[in-house]
């Protein structure tokens, strides 16, 4: 699969690279890295997305190379006339937002590079193992298989952002020794500096954002013996804090950090409807829960969007549905640490003491 995609990269000249709506670090990092790599090979590359980069990624070098689709003739032509369309970090046409129609109509060879489960059937080729930590890991593999010497500071930084953001800073179970070897290689190949990247991504909240966090923390509720946790961000709260919606990034993790909570959901009220983010630990998978509301994602990190929904109604429906989709532990065992993780920690402690 990697060989086939690599051959397509070699053979063709005009590429369109796109990724999902509301792009995140993995989406943009993967896109920019692959785009610069192909340009280094002398290819013509357009990077066009439905939505702009989020504010906390605005510092990334060349982030403006990723254009926002506005339906202009020149953009439509580049999509229609591409030899190859590379779709990154999503396997669903709907997640391409405003580009969906133009991508569907293009005669280009459509290639998927992604790590989500259950890809749709319209791709002509794919490199999409759903066990990968991130799309960034897969883009690294493609570039390294071609020629690792092409990895410069910009590509290394973009891939680091992609892998780091999608692995919760290298802590999720998708992180293998291979992922750490990739990061070690990135550190050796470019002037890559993790500290300012982490600061820019995680430690740069505005005062308004912190006020919104304060209001959001007040809304945390626990359900089902405390195993499910919820948080709500209403438009009223956003206005009261004078904050931007992008400031809600990461809020859901505060809910998941409550000791008893195995699965957490945040409801964010925006003009068009209710945006939800689901996060969980261990085997309390949330992807089916998100799917029940038209969304999807990974087993421990999913999302969904209910168009035109009412916050109270959506909240009730989603919380009511939780036990049908999320594996809850028997009440007495409802600890965030699974029995397996707990015995691992106890054994480790005994070993250190012995």
Q: Which of residues 99-128 bind ligand 5GP (CB under 6 A)?
A: 116
As a whole number of Å, the end-to-end CA separation of the chain is: 48
Q: Exactly one of 6, 41, 92, 319 binds ligand 5GP (CB under 6 A); which one?
A: 92
Cα–Cα distance between 310 and 294 in angstroms, integer? 16
Sign of CA dihedral 253, 259, 264, 267: negative
Q: Are 252 and 281 in contact (CB under 8 A)?
A: no
Q: Determine the interface stretch with ligand 5GP among 74-82, 102-110, 186-194, 292-300 (rule: CB under 6 A).
A: 292-300
- Interface with ligand 5GP includes 54 (CB under 6 A)? no
Q: How far is CA 28 from the centre of its chain?
A: 10
Tell me the β-bridge partners of 297: 302
Sign of CA dihedral 192, 168, 90, 269: negative
Complex with ligand 5GP: residue 190 or 296, whichever CB lies closer: 296
Binding mask 244-283 for ligand 5GP (x = CB under 6 A): ---------------------------------x------
**Tokens representing 184?**
């070690």
Tell me the β-bridge partners of 202: none
Binding mask 81-110 for Mn ion (x = CB under 5 A): --------x---------------------
Binds 23: which of ligand 5GP, Mn ion, none (CB < 5-8 Å by kind) = none
Binds 35: which of ligand 5GP, Mn ion, none (CB < 5-8 Å by kind) = none
Q: Are 3 and 112 in contact (CB under 8 A)?
A: no
How far apart are CB 115 and Mn ion at their closest, in Å? 6
Q: Exactly one of 18, 19, 23, 26 binds Mn ion (CB under 5 A); which one?
A: 26
Cα–Cα distance between 155 and 104 in angstroms, integer? 29
DSSP code, position 6: H
Interface residue list for Mn ion (CB under 5 A): 26, 89, 135, 166
Interface residue list for ligand 5GP (CB under 6 A): 92, 116, 277, 295-298, 301-305
């Amino acid at each position: 699969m990697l060989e086939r995609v690599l051959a397509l990269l070699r053979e063709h000249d005009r590429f369109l690279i796109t990724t999902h709506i509301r792009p995140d670090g993995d989406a943009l990092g993967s896109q920019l890295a692959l785009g610069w790599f192909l340009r280094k090979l002398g290819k013509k590359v357009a990077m066009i997305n439905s939505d702009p980069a989020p504010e906390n990624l605005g510092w990334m070098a060349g982030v403006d190379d990723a254009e926002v689709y506005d339906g202009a003739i020149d953009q439509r032509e580049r999509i229609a006339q591409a030899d190859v369309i590379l779709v990154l970090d999503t396997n669903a046409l709907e997640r391409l937002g405003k580009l969906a129609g133009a991508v569907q109509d293009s005669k280009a060879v459509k290639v998927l590079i992604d790590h989500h489960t259950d890809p749709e059937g319209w791709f002509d080729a794919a490199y999409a193992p759903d066990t990968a930590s991130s799309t960034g890991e897969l883009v690294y593999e493609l570039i390294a298989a071609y020629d690792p010497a092409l990895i410069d500071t910009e590509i290394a930084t973009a891939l680091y952002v992609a892998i780091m953001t999608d692995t919760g800073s290298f802590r999720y179970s998708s992180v293998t020794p291979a992922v750490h070897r990739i990061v070690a290689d990135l550190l050796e190949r470019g002037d890559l500096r993790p500290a300012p990247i982490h600061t820019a991504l995680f430690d740069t909240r505005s005062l308004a954002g912190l006020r919104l966090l304060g209001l959001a923390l007040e809304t945390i509720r626990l359900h089902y013996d405390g195993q499910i946790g919820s948080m709500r961000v209403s438009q009223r709260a956003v206005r009261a804090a004078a904050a931007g919606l992008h400031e809600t990034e990461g809020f859901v993790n505060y809910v998941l950090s409550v000791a008893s909570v195995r699965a957490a959901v945040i409801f964010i009220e925006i003009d068009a409807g209710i945006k939800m983010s689901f996060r969980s630990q261990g085997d309390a998978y949330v992807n089916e829960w998100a799917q029940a509301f038209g969304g999807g994602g990974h087993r421990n990190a999913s999302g969904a969007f209910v168009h035109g929904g009412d916050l109270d109604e959506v909240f009730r429906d989603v919380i009511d549905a939780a036990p049908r989709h999320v594996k809850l532990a028997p009440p007495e065992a409802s600890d965030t640490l699974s029995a397996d993780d707990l015995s691992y920690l106890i054994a480790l402690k005994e070993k250190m003491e012995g």
